[in-house]
Amino acid sequence: MEIGIGAYVVLSAVLFTLGALGVMLRRNAIIVFMSVELMLNAANLAFVAFARQFNDVNGHLFVFFVITVAAAEVGIGLALIVAIFRTKKSINIDSMNQLKG
């Protein structure tokens, strides 16, 4: 049985929604960040599926760039989470309440 483009797009939409829910519901900064990565990869899946459909190389190319950008984000994200853990001894988002008003 051939798995059509529709299945991939639906899967990517499901992954994207799961990621978005993760960002909004979870409180651990690392889990939130992993959910963002899941959203980026959902978009990657969509790009690759569409690129295959159109038989076009641009979608694949886009994914290369998204992967590198995501890696840079991981670098910064981990460093920031380490920094916040050093100062607050917690990476729970609710503990980040010093700035408000």
Partner 1 sequence: MVALSEFAPIGAMLLLAIVVGLLLLFISRILGPNKPTERKSAPYESGMKPIGPGTRRLPVRFYLIAVLFILFDIEVIFFLPWAVVFRKLGLFALVEMFIFIIILLVGYFYAWRKGALEWE
Partner 2 sequence: MSEFDTLASYLSVAPEIGLTILLLIVLAFSVARREVERAAVPYIAGFGMIALAALPLIFAPGDANSTIPEGLYWGGMIRYDVLAQVFRVMILLAGGITALMASGVRGVGRRGEFYIVIIVATLGMSLMSASADLVMVFVALETTSIPLYILAAFKRDDTRSAESGIKYFLFGSFASAIMLYGLSLLYGFTGQTNIYQLAAFMGSDAFANNLVPVLASMVLVVVGFGFKVSAVPFHFWTPDVYEGAPTPVTGYVSVASKAASFALLVRFFVAVYPETLALSGESLQNFWIQLMAVFAVLSMTLGNVLALSQKNIKRLLAYSSIAQAGYTLIGVAAIQSQELSIASVGFYMFMYTFTNLAAFTVVILFSEATGSETIADLAGLNRRSPWLALAMTIALLSLAGIPPTAGFFGKFFVFNAAVRSGLTWLAVVGVLNAIVALYYYLVVIKVMYVDRSEDEDKPIPVGRQYVWVLWATSLIVIVLGTVGAQTVYDWAARGAMGLFT
- Residues at the interface with partner 2 (CB under 8 A): 9, 12, 16, 19-20, 23, 29, 32-33, 36, 39-40, 42-43, 46-47, 49-51, 53-54, 56, 58-59, 61-62, 65-66, 69, 72-73, 76-77, 80-81, 83-84, 86-88, 93, 96, 98-101
Cβ(96)–Cβ(84) below 8 Å: yes
CA proximity to 77, closest of 42, 30, 38:
30
Single out the residue of 17, 28, 53, 68 in contact with partner 1 (rule: CB under 8 A).
68
CA proximity to 30, closest of 91, 84, 97, 98:
91
74 binds partner 1 (CB under 8 A): yes
